[in-house]
Amino acid sequence: MNVNGDCFPNGVVINKDVPEWQEAVYNWDDGYFKCTAVRQSSTNPVYEVTETVETDREVIQSASCTQPEITTYTAEFKYPLFETQKKEVETAPASGHAWGSPTYSWAEDNKTVTATRVCRKDKSHIETETVKTTSKVVQEQTTSLPELTDYTAIFNNPAFARQVKTKVVTKPALSDSLYVKMNRLYNPNSGEHFYTANTAEKDYLVSLGWVYEGNGWNAPEKSSSPVYRLYTPNAGDHHYTMNANERDMLVKLGWKYEGFAWYSDDEKAVPLYRQYNPNAKSGSHNYTSSKEENNYLVSIGWKAEGIAWYGLK
Ligand SMILES: [Zn+2]
């Protein structure tokens, strides 16, 4: 490159004999407020041109929750041996979000919970996480008590707190519409025990002298295990069994099959024990959910015949 010996800024005089220049070197000060350019002769480092300029600054990106402030510094030199320099610098860090309090929303079936929090500085900044809950039955369903379940949700994001819902009714108590109260009656004359869900039948038998002995057990309204009722006109006695073979055998012996008496609980919640009285002509079988009653009858000569069917809790 040719130079012509003109006087340049900073009072540097370029010798006409200098034929070539090395690459220019640019040095910024710590705050990027100034930039110094230096260029030396390729053949003789004594020949050196230097120029220091103040920079122009422009913020090209403001700081936000997630992005830093970025400033461009521009150094423009008067001396034609130097080229304009630009530097992009992070001049302030991202400010970070200002999260509001988390909100939690449960699915209707309590199987999932969604946690959400929104940045107060920018409502489009949203953090959200949906997790599956764990559940635990804390009270079993019975005829009088509903099934109660506790649900717990634990999030991966530590900003979201563990959520708990306790004692949620997950099944109703078995109401009258779902189970049948079995009335137990006793005939002091024949010694027969009789069981019926039919209140009118119960009241009629009581009017004939039968003794109402209370609720024998609770039967499911329906199940896959029917209990068959049979009647023998000779002894005037009823018999109940889940065993179809026993039913058919009794029919062959002259018993009358009267259909389904009630249903046994498929979940086998409460066993009904059957005892046989070898001395009785009629009412030779007793059925009870009470183990104590079963054991008492056995102690006075009855024969334990095991579990006849099952009632509900
Ligand atoms: Zn934000």
On whether residue 149 sits in a domain, the answer given is yes
Residues of the chain with pLDDT below 50 are 1-7, 11
Q: Each residue of 82-114: b (16+ CB within 10 Å) or e?
A: beebeeeeebeeeeebebeebeeebeeebeebb
Neighbours of ion ligand 1 (CB under 5 A): 65, 97, 119, 121-122, 125
CB distance 271 to 307 below 8 Å: yes
CA of 163 to the centre of ligand 1 (A): 25
Residues 266 and 308 in one domain: yes
On whether residue 98 sits in a domain, the answer given is no
List, for residues 197-220, the tens digit of each pLDDT value. 888 999 999 999 999 999 999 999
CA of 126 to the centre of ligand 1 (A): 8
**DSSP at 99:** B
CA of 236 to the centre of ligand 1 (A): 85
On whether residue 101 sits in a domain, the answer given is no
Residues 18 and 71 in one domain: yes
Residues 117 and 199 in one domain: no
298 torsion bin: left (phi>0), alpha (psi -120 to 50), beta (else): alpha
Please give the model's pTM, rounded to 2 decimal places: 0.49
CA of 162 to the centre of ligand 1 (A): 23
Question: Rounded to whole angstroms, how far apart are CA atoms 226 and 257?
Answer: 13
Residues 87 and 122 in one domain: no
CA of 67 to the centre of ligand 1 (A): 10
3-state secondary structure of 236: coil
CB distance 92 to 69 below 8 Å: yes
Residue with tokens 């994001």: 157
CA of 98 to the centre of ligand 1 (A): 6
Q: How many domains does the chain fold into? A: 3
Residues 86 and 69 in one domain: yes
What is residue 132's predicted lDDT score, i.e. its pLDDT? 98
Residues 170 and 183 in one domain: no
3-state secondary structure of 73: strand
Residues 235 and 280 in one domain: yes
Residues 304 and 202 in one domain: yes
Residues 256 and 141 in one domain: no
Greatest C-alpha distance within the chain: 145
Q: Which residues contact 266 (CB under 8 A, 6 or more apart)?
A: 220, 223, 224, 225, 310
Question: Rounded to whole angstroms, how far apart are CA atoms 20 and 201?
Answer: 125
Question: Rounded to whole angstroms, how far apart are CA atoms 186 and 184?
Answer: 7
CB distance 167 to 150 below 8 Å: yes
CA of 95 to the centre of ligand 1 (A): 8
CA of 121 to the centre of ligand 1 (A): 5
Count CB atoms within 10 A of the CB of residue 294.
23
CA of 61 to the centre of ligand 1 (A): 16
Question: Rounded to whole angstroms, how far apart are CA atoms 87 and 73?
Answer: 5
CA of 88 to the centre of ligand 1 (A): 24
Residue with tokens 């099944």: 171
Give the full edge-to-edge strand order of the sheet including 56-61: 56-61, 69-75, 85-92
**DSSP at 175:** -
On whether residue 270 sits in a domain, the answer given is yes
Query: Whole domain around residue 111: which residue ranges?
Result: 106-175
On whether residue 234 sits in a domain, the answer given is yes
CA of 70 to the centre of ligand 1 (A): 18
CA of 116 to the centre of ligand 1 (A): 13
CA of 127 to the centre of ligand 1 (A): 10
CA of 68 to the centre of ligand 1 (A): 13
